Structure 1
Amino acid sequence: MVGSLVLGIGGLLSPVTEAHAEVLEPELIATTVVSGVQAPANFEIDDDGNIFLAQRHGVVLRYTGEGDTSPETVIDLREEVYRQGDRGLLGLALDPDFADGSPYLYLLYTQDKDPFGTDQVPRWGGEELTDPCPDPPGANGDGCTATGQLVRYTVGEDGTADPGSAVVLLDGSNRTEGGWCSQFPSHATSTLAFGPDGMLYVGHGDGANYNTADWGQLGGTQPNTPTPVNSCNDGPGERGTTPDRADSAGGALRSQSVRAATEDGYVSWDGAILRIDPETGEAAADNPLVAVR
């Protein structure tokens, strides 16, 4: 089978033909719809033409359409969101039945909270456009460990979301069944989208370092650092102990884990796409890896 596949590919590649560039009439036109946006990350348009736009530092705006210069603030989550490096509020989705009785807004963001520290929010930053990672631990040193959240809000008739309507569908600091942990300024909370099956698809990076090989051994290099080695507690050793590279489940290796939660541990949600019920946040029953141990 492999041999026939290789031969088939070879047949497709031979003979080589010379490529010629074809000049087409310009059909793509760039039009400025709205301007003056700070760190735009994602947007969706409802059936009435309203544009819901997420800014990475945690503010969601609503524009009534093209040319609107006075957008309304839908919700302000700057105190919750950790906007540092590539991290922040990146995922936004409107319920497919937004105009038909389900006026729900779903937001996925890096939460300014250490999943292994206290419940203090914000942990590192504040309400700035860009949040700091103090030194120590340093953004590119030991890193500022953060988590993530997926929250559903109800949008009222005035176009704003009531903070009191928040329903946390996925809490990344919940380390019993699963969780999100990012130690460095990238590879964190990502995209959010509804599929044609009505399920909500949730993406997150591996939470690892983007400059060097990372299997969980980074951290703990500075005196009094709040970020120890193996700061995301991936195992098999405990947080604060250097994992052995051969059997580590940390760093970039999180994206290779397909384990489900067990009685004595959890499965990392890092480096994965989750498929969940948008009403409950529970894993879809027909997920392909739902029974993997």
Structure 2
Amino acid sequence: MEGVSASPSKKRKGHKHVAKDEEITVKIDPQLLHCGICADPLDNDGLVFQCANGHVLCSACAAKYGESCPDCLTADVSRCVALETIVDRLRMPCPFSAFGCMEFVSRAEKHSHELYCAHAPLACLVPGCLWSGPQDCISDHIRVDHGRLCGSQGFFYNKKFSIQVRCDGLVHLLKGKDGSIFALLVTNALPAGSMPGGSMLRVVRVQRGSAIGTIFEYDLEVKRGRSSMTLKSVPDDWGHHPSAPVAQQQESLPELLFVPRHFTGGTTINVDLRIRKI
């Protein structure tokens, strides 16, 4: 694997001193970083085992086969601290490098980096669309491929703004001044028994922009005459799992506003929305 870098430890006495933060770039066979039994990566939990004959096992295989190496049947299996240290200090390419990320991350940084990586692949917000790609490309995709059915507009945080969407609409993108992009999703709800049809509304955050650690809330209100329906909730991040069906992603998020068809009295819904930074 090209581009893997490692931080060497301090040399023994008599050798040239190496700065703690100095790094060298090396090439390494990726198979050396995988379990010799199940072939899974060794960086899942940082624990590495080895038998007396040098066969490397991950913690899952060590637990599964006990103290006996399944490769050579030796009973001498123990922790391999030296290899654990190497695995911990290696900085590997981001899992989303194929989508354009140039970062190298350690095992300890991998999880948090994946959560906030701007190149993490997202599924399209439009049901039935098979597109997936980096989050910083999804708004362009919707504008180009779904522009006739989806709208977009800018907004200011903490200020109420109005949106008119179709009852059978799909996505309305909302662009904040900090680069964050939210989306008002409108899902058509079919009649069930005696229940009237209608639309389900909710807000999700699609792109984080510069507001990486910020928590948001939103107030959503639909009015008709003196009557109104409201929802106060927290926008969930649109998931990083393009292989998951869009319907499944929507069903896993219960915070939504159901607007019956008879309440709107037409083919459009007038929505007042406020997105707040907490």
For Structure 1 versus Structure 2, the TM-score category normalised by the shorter chain is: under 0.3
Q: Give the structure-2-normalised TM-score.
A: 0.24
Give the structure with the larger helix fraction: 2
Higher-Rg member (1/2): 2
Q: Give the structure-1-normalised TM-score.
A: 0.23
